[in-house]
Structure 1
């Protein structure tokens, strides 16, 4: 998986923003001020992307894919980390990014959701 491609995908989602957390040496992606993805490294500096996930699905994914582990430095129930060098297709990782984004988006207030959708509609005019 190419880090740059995944970063571009994260930023292509409606209302997504990016910042860099120097202490963690990690790129973070937010929607409505809430993080949905983080790219950095594990304790050995091995590149990972960490994504929010439905708890039941998170367990299933960890059992099915060797390259998916409980969220590194995150709540292990609600977050998974995926090694970027794992044998997992980029298209599947993009689906998991979208899943994470949707989980976070739907937890935002109705007003925040509306504002994000309105701003996206204006951008598509």
Structure 2
């Protein structure tokens, strides 16, 4: 996966925005203001995604390229190395899972607005 594919995959999801709220190099993707993925655009070596806690532990045990979230809540976030034993399809699945987790926590009215588009 490269930065363009990562960015494109995130932006095709409903209600997603991209911004740089922390600094000029940390690209953050949000769904209706809630973060679901972030990465360093200057050095795209890894990215952080939200993850179900049990699934997070399982992925970390099975793949060297999946670590507890760097600078994030280690229970709910994973850092995925782009150059690792975690393949591109799994990376896209991790992004989808993160988006779905965050989306599911949005207020019902907001979720309905996004799915009605």
Go from structure 1 to structure 2 and tell me whether the alpha carbon gap of 1:46 and 1:57 turns closer, same or farther (over 3 Å shift). Answer: same
Q: Which runs of 5+ in 2 are unaligned?
A: none
| Structure having greater relative contact order (Cα 8 Å, sep ≥ 6) | 1
- Which structure is larger by alpha-carbon Rg, 1 or 2? 1
> What CA deviation, in whole Å up to 9, does each residue of 1:84-123 have, x standing for no partner?
12232211110110000000000000011112122xx3xx
Q: Is residue 16 of structure 2 the alignment partner of residue 12 of structure 1?
A: no
Q: Helix, strand or coil: the match of 1:62?
A: helix
Hey, what does 2:74 align to over in structure 1? 76
2:18 counterpart of 1:32: no
Deviation at 1:48, TM superposition (A): 1.4
| Contact 1:34 1:104 (8 Å CA) reproduced | yes
Query: What does 1:102-121 align with in structure 2 at a 5 Å threshold?
Result: 102-118=100-116, 121=117
Work out the number of aligned pairs and report it: 116
Aligned to 1:91: 89
After superposing on structure 2, the runs of 4+ consecutive aligned residues of structure 1 that deviate more than 4 Å are none
Is the contact between residue 46 and residue 83 of structure 1 (CA under 8 Å) also seen in structure 2? no
Cα distance in 2, alignment partners of residues 24 and 67 from structure 1: 25
TM-score by length of 1: 0.85
Q: Structure 1 pair 67/8, CA: closer, same or farther in 2 (3 Å)?
A: same
The residue number in structure 1 matching 2:21 is 21
